[in-house]
């Protein structure tokens, strides 16, 4: 599975569970803007970051 497809699936799962980017950011101890950048592929995330998001 390509990185874009994985990130799209994670974002869809987040929305499907009714979670906001802010809620995910709090759980990951990061900022909402970091989650937005992750979901829009504004940067190439480390595998460990994607795993934490999952």
- In the three-class reduction of DSSP (H, G, I as helix; E, B as strand; rest coil), residue 15 is classed as helix
Q: Is the model's pLDDT at 1 over the cut of 70? A: no
Residue 8 pLDDT greater than 80, yes or no:
yes
More confident of the two residues 21 and 52:
21
pLDDT band at 4 (very low <50, low <70, confident <90, very high): confident
Mean of the pLDDT values across residues 6-10? 89
Q: Where are the domains positioned within the chain?
A: 3-53
Q: Could you tell me which residues come within 8 angstroms of residue 38 by beta carbon, excluding any fewer than 6 positions away?
A: 7, 45, 49, 50, 53
- Full-model pTM: 0.75
- The first and second tokens of residue 46, run together, are 């480390």
């Amino acid at each position: 599975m390509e990185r874009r497809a994985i990130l799209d699936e994670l974002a869809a799962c987040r929305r499907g569970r009714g979670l906001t980017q802010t809620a995910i950011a709090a759980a990951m101890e990061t900022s909402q803007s970091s989650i937005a950048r992750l979901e829009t592929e504004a940067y190439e995330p480390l595998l460990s970051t994607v795993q934490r998001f999952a």
